[in-house]
Chains A and B, each alone.
With several copies, the nearest count.
Chain A
Amino acid sequence: MLSKNQIAQRIAKEVKNGQYINLGIGIPTLVANYIPDNLEVVLQSENGLLGIGPFPKEENVDPDLINAGKQTITMLKGSVLFNSAESFAMIRGGHVHLTILGAMEVSENGDISNWKIPGKMVKGMGGAMDLVASAKNIIVAMQHCSKSGDSKLLPECTLPITGVRCVKKIVSDLAVLEVSPTGGFILKERAPGVSVEEIMAKTSGKLIIEGEVPEMVFD
């Protein structure tokens, strides 16, 4: 089973040179730590920044410079600031190549639920619905099962949906899976020490296994 950092590390291998990327809150934010130095990518923050830098040193904290998670951040050389309409113009217009975000559930046709649990206080969808409706490539980072042990990879989402047929790939603590255009989770890689049988048992949506499933390799 992968740790959160290992999930982030595995997702970082999906990043390609020259990409503009939006990272959601939680595990996706950790991905930034594992992007190889030889790749030039730009991180977008939907509150109005391209080129998110590292967290500031204490003496450089600026309340007028935060990311979409409201954390204080810094800029890089070549960063650019803009307003919220421009930010979502970028997202909606397909200029952001890759969105990495968390999920409560993913269905076998790529639907995602991550904003609302009936009966609980709803905090809002923020920018998630815009992101999943627009990005060319959407990768979900999440635990394979909920805390109560239920699979989060389902035939259909049971929670209110954030977006339909949008998730392309899932990296969980157990596996890397692609969403088939015709439906189903194609098992691409296993976490070290995790068997295909365990993944089968913990995936309630249709699981597609094509030949030998390799273990993930970490550098």
Chain B
Amino acid sequence: MINKTVKDALEAVADIPTGAFLMMGGFGLSGIPENCISALLQRDIKDLTIVSNNAGVDDFGIGLLLKKRMVKKMISSYVGENAEFERQLLQGELEVELIPQGTLAERVRAGGAGIPAFFTPAGVGTEVAEGKEIREFDGKHYLMETALKADFSIIKAWKGDTAGNLIFKGTARNFNPIMAAAGKICIAEVEELVEVGGLDPNQIHTPGIYVQRIFQGKDYEKRIEQRTVSN
């Protein structure tokens, strides 16, 4: 099997240039590539465009990249509660493109799957439809949406093997598998890196063909946004 391992996060993100178009996995703060975000903070790059369902919080996740003014544009479905984000947006220092979550997921999936465009009902009759082709199928209206691809997709999995095969855990799966396939170079950080043969071929969520670099991350904080418990 092809070996995709790199030493660590710093090596994995070493060639990401200023102005790169990135995808980052995660939903809220769950399943985000914590190690790669830390490594990016050590790079002297800026003007990044980041496709990510959310934009982190002020002091964690993508929020850290925003705070360091490394981000030119966010492409997200919900940017949540983030004071610095709001400040930059209102000052015109940051661009934001908001996309319905299902359309975002499908555009990313299409990017990885070689489908340049598809039709979806989400957003018909709304401002999301502005400038887009509308077409009727079986009496219902749909928008044409195009594929999203990235220079680098940066994702986080639970377990991975050296061939890049990945297994996710719980709802930390979210956008990670589809982003893996949509990046020209996919960087995967995993909690546990095993030798090939250490994962059941029938239980792998992301085939290694989509992953170009993999390493075992460390010191995962896994911050919780809404700690809700029952009595």
Contacts and interface: CB of A to CB of B under 8 A. Distances in A.
A150 interface: no
B30 interface: yes
A164 B124 contact: yes
Given A64-B30, A83-B176, A90-B207, A77 B197 contact: yes
B113 A93 contact: yes
A125 interface: yes
B214 interface: no
Contacts of A58: 229
Contacts, number: 242
A3 B1 CA distance: 30
B98 interface: yes
A92 B102 contact: yes
Given A83-B176, A123-B78, A163-B125, A66 B207 contact: no
A14 interface: no
B78 to A, nearest CB: 4
Contacts of A162: 126
Contacts of B76: 124
Contacts of A129: 100, 102-103, 122-123, 126, 128
Interface stretch (B12-20, B43-51, B63-71, B219-227): B219-227
B190 interface: no
Contacts of A75: 201
A73 to B, nearest CB: 8
A124 B98 contact: yes
B101 interface: yes
Contact of B101 (A81, A121, A127, A163): A127
Interface residues of A, number: 73
A145 interface: no
A1 B15 CA distance: 48
Interface stretch (A42-50, A168-176, A185-193): A42-50
B226 A56 contact: no
A217 interface: no
Contact of A63 (B30, B80, B101, B208): B30
B1 A51 contact: yes
Interface in B200-222: 201-202, 204-205, 207-210, 222
A199 to B, nearest CB: 28
A78 B197 contact: yes
9 contacts: A41-B2, A65-B171, A72-B227, A81-B168, A84-B174, A89-B106, A123-B78, A130-B102, A163-B125
Ranked 7 nearest A-B pairs via Cβ:
A92-B114, A88-B102, A130-B102, A78-B196, A77-B197, A89-B113, A164-B125
